[in-house]
């Protein structure tokens, strides 16, 4: 796992956008995340599209997750969110932006269909990830199987609390989601996890330096052959070996420089 520490969220976003742009130009299958963390990265990719000719026209995109029970046109559905925050502002074909069907009556079948659709696209080339304060990725809450497929999950009360800021009342936050599983996410060829702010410091230390454990679902990144974690100083503050990560970053062989 490569851990890159940057001074602030803007630098995290600039580097993440640069890495993603390298894939987009080749017409890759992109794995997209919602939530607050990737917003600055999406802004930078939109800027690159408008001002530097970066095209997504040959890309496909798969979202990590979707709330169960929210209509697609609900402002907080991830179907709407990713379009509002990112894909409506670039040249990706709208029909190439996929998300789990949060309105399904049969979540097992919908989960299987989503995993099959990802595989039929050739698989995700790069998966963008945020991390929950409790260590979740996608909505794989603590205790999730490290090899899980896309399926229905119940949100942890901590996640409901964390996401209440997007809704008028905490009671409006859906309690269930369809989420790519940790097995699904792990099949992406490159995992790119971003974390900013001191609220993520504990989760970052656990995922990078703690044991691989379902208690911290994001620790599954330790098993992946190509995982990049970009954090700002605030999110890096609990890392034990941060000096080594900085040293390795500064002394990277030239062919590995982003």
Quick one: tokens of 97? Answer: 């932006």
Q: Which is nearer to ligand F6R, 214 or 248 (CB)?
A: 214
Tell me, residue by residue from 197 to 226, as one string, x for binding to ligand F6R by CB under 6 A and - for no binding.
------------------------------
Q: Does 33 bind ligand F6R (CB under 6 A)?
A: yes
Only one residue has tokens 């702010």, namely 197
Tell me, residue by residue from 49 to 78, as one string, x for binding to ligand F6R by CB under 6 A and - for no binding.
---------------xx-------------
**Rounded to whole angstroms, how far apart are CA atoms 237 and 204?**
9
3-class DSSP state of 224: coil
Q: Does 137 bind ligand F6R (CB under 6 A)?
A: yes
Q: Is 241 a catalytic residue?
A: no
φ/ψ (deg, to 5) at 55: -115, 140
Q: Does 173 bind ligand F6R (CB under 6 A)?
A: no
Q: Which is nearer to ligand F6R, 234 or 248 (CB)?
A: 234
**Rounded to whole angstroms, how far apart are CA atoms 218 and 28?**
24
**Rounded to whole angstroms, how far apart are CA atoms 251 and 46?**
31
Q: 161 to each of 70, 115, 175, 217, 256, how far by Cα in Å?
A: 18, 29, 11, 19, 39
Q: Which is nearer to ligand F6R, 125 or 141 (CB)?
A: 141
Quick one: tokens of 182? Answer: 């940790």
Catalytic residue among 66, 85, 101, 141: 141
Q: 38 to each of 12, 124, 201, 241, how far by Cα in Å?
A: 10, 17, 17, 25
Q: Which is nearer to ligand F6R, 27 or 142 (CB)?
A: 142
Q: Is 141 a catalytic residue?
A: yes
The residue range among 5-13, 35-43, 69-77, 207-215 that interacts with ligand F6R, by the rule CB under 6 A, is 35-43
Active site residues: 65, 134, 136, 141
> What is the binding site for ligand F6R (CB under 6 A)?
33-37, 64-65, 130-132, 136-139
């Amino acid at each position: 796992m490569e851990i890159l520490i940057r001074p602030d969220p803007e630098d995290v976003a600039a580097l993440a956008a640069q890495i993603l742009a390298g894939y987009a130009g080749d017409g890759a299958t992109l794995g997209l995340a919602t939530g607050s963390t990737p917003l600055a990265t999406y802004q930078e990719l939109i800027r690159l599209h408008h001002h530097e000719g970066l095209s997504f026209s040959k890309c496909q995109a798969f979202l990590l997750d979707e709330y169960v029970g929210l209509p697609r046109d609900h402002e907080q559905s991830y179907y709407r969110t990713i379009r509002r925050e990112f894909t409506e502002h670039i040249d990706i074909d709208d029909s190439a932006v996929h998300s789990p069907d949060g309105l399904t009556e049969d979540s097992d079948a919908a989960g299987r269909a989503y995993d099959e659709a990802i595989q039929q696209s050739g698989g995700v080339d790069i998966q963008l990830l945020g991390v929950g304060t409790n260590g979740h990725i996608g909505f794989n809450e603590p205790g999730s199987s490290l090899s899980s497929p896309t399926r229905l999950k119940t949100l942890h009360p901590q996640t409901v609390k964390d996401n209440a800021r997007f809704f008028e009342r905490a009671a409006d936050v859906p309690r269930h989601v369809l989420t790519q599983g940790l097995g699904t996410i792990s099949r992406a060829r490159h995992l790119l996890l971003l974390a900013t702010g001191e609220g993520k410091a504990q989760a970052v230390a656990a995922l990078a330096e703690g044991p691989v454990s379902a208690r911290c679902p994001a620790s599954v990144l330790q098993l992946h052959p190509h995982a990049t974690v970009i954090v700002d100083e605030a999110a890096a503050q609990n890392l034990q070996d941060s000096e080594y990560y900085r040293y390795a970053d500064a002394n990277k062989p030239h062919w590995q420089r982003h």
